[in-house]
Structure 1
């Protein structure tokens, strides 16, 4: 099995002619050629296509043909349907037999997601279409409360799996899939709000949105299991999968959990000691041990993240109650690839303003679950005013807003 999952290089022996044919077929789709005509053309030209070809194809469409990620995303479902039945199935069976392996867990979750989408929600939607009474509305709200857990499934994919694929130059999935994930998340949230504040004039909107959710989330299962995960298995090493498995608990799981901890027989992980070291850091105003410095940063009632002058994430604090999930997979990753495609332009504008000296700070504040989150960004400059990075400072200020009056003495009861 190690021969399968330890293959560190993406298969790049695809012929230029074959790749060009694939590009021409998908470009024809983008230009409006009838779907049936394009699918017939594909079936005549190709017996099968492997996941890497699809990933490289979409990257090439964005890079070489100038097609925006949003356009790729719009037709991603059509791409998948054209290729359906022609994708070479490799490696998946191996991971399926390994409880605790991240791929095994992703697939296990997908089975539960599929059951929720295409049995419970579909059934309750049909009942709602016939009669929009309180009971049927309540059942759909309960279903969407469960489905909202898909955020954890997508977050592990985006924040753990995508960063490793990007290290091998595979950026297509993170640009295209992440955008679709966000559309699904948004639709779940908005449809739940419509149901919770139901009026009969919104019935058609709810039916349409639920149909969208069922369709898109079901197709995402297909894309993950037939394109993304086989490609990842062929690309990532066993050590990398173990790191993904170890950090998955930080984000959580959707509708189910790993059956056990995955421990491959041959594996002895040779990692750098992740505990605080025994050395010391000499600063202009004092000397701290590495452990003291780490504990001090982690005890601050804020979340800190630092990216360097090349936009690469170098550090984040990991206190007990982080507001937004961070995993060690983000270390060494560009900050642009840590954000959904729809918000990358905001990140780039902020960094451009910092690097040019136009701004030294930028603040945002948002409602997030039960928190009121104050997010501050600071340009970090050296003694010569040269830009060396950006510090993100995130804090829940809801408790601070509740403060009134004065407190000048200790409370003996606390």
Structure 2
């Protein structure tokens, strides 16, 4: 059987042909590999370089490889945070003509870390709570899209810093199923699996001495259920308000936006006696602030980063002489937003030397600088300005924190 590459991009097959497909993945020479931290997997997984991209290569049987490839593409179309599927390679054989397992190829998620790498130094309980928040949001987003994961765990998730919090990404869809809508039983099964898997993973960390002594693995496994249920209730519940209190509906929409979700459609029903109004958010999808920032500036960031950058952008716009909301002659927000990127965002990020950035992307750097500016301003009891904050951050904060930041991906 001849080597066959099914790819999402017509440029990828030519780049992938340069890799040593005649060797089992476990025997690939170091010259092809990229030394990035890997999580636990039931399959052999390696990071390699294909042209300018870093890819994750996973060996598995042909049928599940093709199925996971299609599921990951479906999740991408639905806007769900998951790794990007690039290709499936079948028809592999060694130099003696013996068949080798096919591989699934995904794009490496820059700046991400598997959970075990994050526990190489003892993680504080507060940080673990943020990981549980991120995983709960991911599971809710999957369920709203009709995706039953079938194996929710820390091992099957990658985490990226997101403005002091974390964003979670699905990295293994092998057991997943996509439906028009999930039943309560399907959601409950996924949630119960998550509880058992997470408790087991934390017990394993506890046995190895990598878990903070105050953390109870069973309690943290249960925590994901509570956080999920609270978020699901807020997103899907039906609200009944007194007639005429339409600002209550606006308040509910704003609360959903603050959680990072957008109301794409809503149903409002009046009672027969006119005393009450029933409000149901019909469709909620994620990334409200991400989409707004991307539309205004072209910056593609995580949700919490986008929220913080938008706040800074709005504050900056309010200081511009040619910005008057509602004035048809004033500069449009899109024009001002691109000026902010050009005159504020980019110069500020460039002021941080590349060798001190660790694994932080530009949006995270800018967020950290805003946080540092707020801290210094609070201490000084007046706004110290962004330039002063950048200088102090580069001189006094980054050199001390450098060893705790993940190493940058190879150039």
Q: Which category of TM-score, normalised to the shorter sequence, fits these structures?
A: under 0.3
TM-score between the two structures when normalised by the length of structure 2: 0.25
Query: Which protein is richer in helix relative to its size?
Result: 1
TM-score between the two structures when normalised by the length of structure 1: 0.25
Query: Which protein is richer in strand relative to its size?
Result: 2
Higher relative contact order (CA 8 A, sep 6+): 1
